[in-house]
């Protein structure tokens, strides 16, 4: 044979000369040996080591397509995935919501014409750069420029915008609607104040998906009478509903919610045992809660009907219904109901036929053993009650 060859056996009594496997050479203690080359005849060391107690140390670790971290995180961190097979450590998830709160803190008696907007002048809270209220730029109603009262929204994200007008001059009419002032686009539906009551609080709610470019929105005056002369205490809340990979941390626990409303006037199905219906689904991010908006109306129990909400079993739900406008000549009493089992949930609430234009029904429900449907049911009503509208629905899975 040649130099360094060895005599080997094939296990059947036959001997031959073969190249022998090379020694480890410059191997360090505990390093892992691997074959080198295509022949499998040379062994060399690698950077991975195994301690005498079996602890593995490597620069990278891939198993079943997942890439694991090679060093520990800091105390209190948890392991997360980026959705691209990479695992790592991060801070404990935030349970908050990206939102901005503001209001009108002083009485406003100027810029009250059609095409003007509400001058939000106080920033109460914000925890995101995706929503920014302008409270410093001088007022203007020109489009596509900054102005006090306008709100910056980051592109390609979905937002829920809510403004509640708590005090205003009640001698004149005021109609408001959300508006994209950069792109001159009306958003959602308009809401008009009620001049016939003493304490009129009204809310303007809309969902909006910002376009491919950053934009600004405002609460625009789209109709007003000359005798309307002031407003104040307008509360603003804008919440970011969706996220991009840039705007959300690796782990973010968003609230599981369903939001809907009723803006068209409803004048039918107003008897005891009927339930409220909704004509617009604003937002949903969880299949455990589903609003029926297509099945023909019925007040029969344990069947589908428009206005009923499917809730999956084994969850806690917080149910909220807010009635913003209704006929004030008659009594309307509402209560949440399990329509499958015909059982009341929580307590009933009665409207105020004198002054109060807004009333709400809230309760907590633990859906235990079976999937069910719930509804906001009329449990008492007088014959002279004729209509309701502007009903806001929110169901949150806890």
Can you give the residue range of the structural domain that contains 15?
5-90
Report how far residue 331's alpha carbon sits from residue 283's, in angstroms, rounded to the nearest whole number.
31
Confidence label for 196 from pLDDT (cuts 50, 70 and 90): low
pLDDT for the residue 253:
46
Same domain? 216 vs 260: no
**What is the separation of C-alpha 161 from the centre of its chain, rounded to a whole number of angstroms?**
12
Tens digits of per-residue pLDDT, 151-175? 999 999 999 999 999 888 878 889 9
Instruction: Tell me: do 151 and 213 sit in the same domain.
Output: yes
Which pLDDT score is estimated for 29?
65
Task: Judge if 110 and 228 occupy the same domain.
Answer: yes
The alpha carbon of 347 is separated from its chain's Cα centroid by a whole number of angstroms, namely 28
Are 103 and 236 within 8 A, CB to CB? yes
* 351 shares a domain with 303: yes
Residue 82 Cα distances to 11, 64, 240, 309, 379, angstroms: 52, 16, 21, 34, 50
- Residue 251 inside a domain? The answer is no
Q: Do both 120 and 236 map to the same domain?
A: yes
Has residue 185 got a pLDDT over 70? yes
CATH of the domain at 332: 2.60.120.40
Q: Look at 145 and 99; give whichever has higher pLDDT.
A: 145
pLDDT of residue 203: 85
The string of pLDDT tens digits covering residues 339-366 is: 999 999 999 999 876 655 678 899 999 9
Give the pLDDT mean for 330-346. Answer: 95
**Partner residues linked to 334 by β-bridges:** 349, 378
Is the per-residue pLDDT at 199 higher than 60? no
Do 70 and 127 fall within a single domain? no
Listed residues 33, 56, 90: the one ending a domain: 90
Q: Is the pLDDT of residue 246 over 60?
A: no
Pairwise CA distance, residues 100 & 258, whole Å: 20
Beta bridge partners of 396: 257, 318
pLDDT category of residue 265 using cuts at 50, 70 and 90: confident
> CA nearest 132: which of 227, 238, 32, 211?
238
Q: How far apart are CA 132 and CA 146, in angstroms?
A: 11
Q: Is residue 356 part of a domain?
A: yes
Over the range 41-78, which residues count as b (16 or more CB within 10 Å of their CB) and which as e?
Answer: eeeebeebeeeeeeeeeeeeeeeeeebeeeeeeeeeee
Does the residue 246 lie in any domain?
A: no
Mean pLDDT to the nearest integer, 76-80: 74
> Under a CB-based contact definition with an 8 Å cutoff, are residues 68 and 53 in contact?
no
What's the number of domains the chain is made of? Answer: 3
> For residue range 269-323, what is the model confidence (pLDDT) as tens digits?
999 999 999 988 888 888 899 999 999 999 999 999 999 999 999 999 999 998 8
pTM of the full predicted structure?
0.67
The answer to whether the Cα torsion of 379, 385, 387, 393 is positive or negative is negative
- In the prediction, which pLDDT does 56 show? 73
Secondary structure tally for the chain: helices H, strands E: 0, 29
Mean pLDDT of 74-91: 76
Percent of the chain clearing pLDDT 90 (strictly above):
47
Domain boundary among 181, 210, 240: 240
Mean pLDDT across the stretch 198-226? Answer: 89
Of residues 7 and 185, the one with the higher pLDDT is: 185
């Amino acid at each position: 044979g040649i130099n360094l060859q060895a005599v080997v056996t094939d296990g059947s009594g036959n001997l031959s000369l073969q190249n022998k496997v090379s020694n480890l050479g410059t191997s360090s203690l505990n390093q892992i040996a691997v074959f080198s080359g295509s022949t499998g005849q040379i062994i060399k060391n690698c950077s991975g080591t195994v301690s005498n107690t079996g602890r593995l140390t490597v620069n990278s670790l891939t198993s079943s397509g997942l890439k694991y971290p090679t060093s520990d995180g800091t105390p209190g961190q948890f392991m997360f995935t980026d959705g691209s097979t990479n695992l790592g450590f991060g801070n404990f998830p935030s349970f908050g919501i990206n939102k901005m709160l503001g209001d009108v803190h002083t009485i406003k008696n100027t810029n009250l014409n059609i095409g003007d907007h509400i001058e939000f002048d106080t920033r109460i809270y914000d925890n995101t750069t995706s929503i920014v209220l302008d409270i410093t730029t001088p007022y203007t109603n020109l489009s596509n420029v900054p102005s006090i009262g306008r709100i910056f929204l980051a592109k390609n994200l979905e937002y829920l915008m809510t403004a509640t007008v708590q005090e205003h001059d009640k001698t004149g009419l005021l109609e408001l609607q959300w508006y994209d002032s950069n792109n001159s686009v009306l958003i959602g539906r308009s809401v008009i104040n009620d001049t016939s009551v003493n304490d009129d609080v009204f809310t303007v709610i809309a969902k909006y998906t910002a376009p491919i470019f950053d934009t600004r929105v405002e609460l625009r005056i789209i109709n007003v009478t000359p005798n309307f002369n002031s407003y104040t205490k307008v509360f603003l809340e804008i919440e970011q509903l969706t996220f991009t990979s840039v705007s959300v941390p690796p782990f973010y626990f968003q609230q599981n919610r369903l939001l809907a409303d009723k803006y068209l006037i409803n004048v039918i199905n107003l008897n005891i045992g009927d339930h409220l219906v909704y004509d617009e689904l604003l937002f949903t991010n969880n299949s455990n809660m589903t609003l029926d908006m297509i099945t023909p109306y019925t007040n029969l129990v344990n069947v589908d009907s428009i206005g009923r909400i499917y809730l999956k079993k084994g969850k806690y739900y917080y149910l909220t219904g807010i009635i913003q406008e209704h006929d004030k000549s008659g009594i309307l009493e509402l209560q949440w109901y399990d329509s499958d089992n015909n059982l009341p949930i929580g307590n009933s609430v009665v409207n105020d036929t004198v002054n109060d234009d807004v009333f709400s029904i809230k309760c907590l429900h633990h859906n235990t053993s079976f999937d069910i449907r719930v509804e906001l049911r009329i449990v008492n009503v007088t014959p002279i009650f004729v209509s309701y509208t502007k009903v806001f629905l929110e169901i949150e899975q806890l």
